[in-house]
Amino acid sequence: MASSPTLKPFVSSLYSDPTRHCGSLLENYFPRSFQVKKELNLEEKLKLSTKQFRLNCLGHRDVDVSASVLADSVTDAQLDVNEEDPSISTLLMNFDSNFDPYGAMSTPLYQTATFKQPLATENGPYDYTRSGNPTRDVLERLLAKLEKADRAFCFTSGMAALSAVANLVGTGQEIVAGDDIYGGSDRLLSQVTPRTGVVVKRVNTSDLSEVAKVIGPKTKLVWLESPTNPRQQIADIRRIAEMAHTHGAILLVDNSIMTPVLSRPLELGADIVMHSATKFIAGHSDLMAGVLAVKGESLAKELYFLQNAVGSGLAPFDCWICLRGIKTMALRVEKQQENAQKIAEFLSSHP
């Protein structure tokens, strides 16, 4: 069984209402004269806590709470708050794992290969971790939100993610890539991809005239790094996206160096953004991971099929480690910039 690439709502756990599944057990355990007055069920409490949390987060901003009344419960009519998008730091620290029945602030680790199904003839939201896992889904939803993508997919490494993109290109089609790119990407494009009959053209992507010369009707994929690794060359993503789309090609941008904190290439016209999450996203040199953030449901389905078919999805434990590390990404990137500025100023004044 293979999961659909479309995210499905997580089925409520039996723990969301233990009496529904364990009524007889509770009756035997408690005296019959014993009664529990249930003021709010778990769902109502979660709704209440979520609204209170949102109000607290917006407390430092100019919000309209003149018509708001907090009494025994909070309703939509009573809570009149003009919400704004949270900062990246706030989003990273408070991303909602809304499927968890207990409202855990730290996403649980679903360290399992298989999932029990409701019936022999009915599939649940998950069946096999290669095809999908709740912990991975939380990380992918967060990354999609950071990049403003329609979908995001987590792979076992950055190169596994790039290999999936390269597999979108068929025999006789062309890839236009930068001549200054990460060593692993260079190896893939120069020694592996050509074996499938794909033509790879290399060009200085910081020179728009050179890029325009090599993009043509056979071009299926344009592969950018901006800034490049190692020479830190900058490409005009918006202009190159226009060139690629004129010929019906896909634009991939390796955004590993910039991270979503500093750059969102999808907003500039890219179709796929790739990250080596091993680097700044996870941030602690304790896992290997790659990310593809994708614009467009059709392209997302193609990449999901390749990920599932090859079995290159990130394992639950690595997803959990990445979720732990990503919480401080914005703070780390800010400090890295501050330190880099000090080093640059020192070196510029050094004889």
Give me the amino acid identity at 216: G
20 is catalytic: no
239 is catalytic: no
Q: Annotated catalytic residue: which of 47, 239, 279, 301?
A: 279
The residues that bridge with 253 in the sheet, in sequence order, are 224, 273
Q: Annotated catalytic residue: which of 137, 254, 271, 318?
A: 254
The residues that bridge with 275 in the sheet, in sequence order, are 291
Other CB atoms within 10 Å distance of the CB of residue 206: 18
Angle between helices 297-310 and 158-166 (to 10 degrees): 110
Cβ contacts of 312 within 8 Å, gap of 6 or more = 155, 156, 160, 161, 163, 164, 306
Q: Annotated catalytic residue: which of 51, 110, 126, 130?
A: 130
Pairing mode, strands 290-294 and 151-155: antiparallel
Please answer whether residues 184 and 192 qualify as being in contact, where contact means their C-beta atoms are separated by less than 8 angstroms. no
Per the listing, tokens 């796929």 go with 272
279 is catalytic: yes
Pairing mode, strands 219-225 and 250-254: parallel
Report residue 242 as tokens: 């226009």
254 is catalytic: yes
Please answer whether residues 322 and 140 qualify as being in contact, where contact means their C-beta atoms are separated by less than 8 angstroms. no
Pairing mode, strands 272-276 and 290-294: antiparallel
Give me the amino acid identity at 221: L
DSSP class per residue in 237-263? HHHHHHHHHHTT-EEEEE-TTTHHHH-
Report residue 139 as tokens: 């990380």
Helix (H, G, I), strand (E, B) or coil at 170: coil
Distance between CA atoms of residues 288 and 274, nearest Å: 14
Positions annotated as catalytic residues are 130, 182, 254, 279
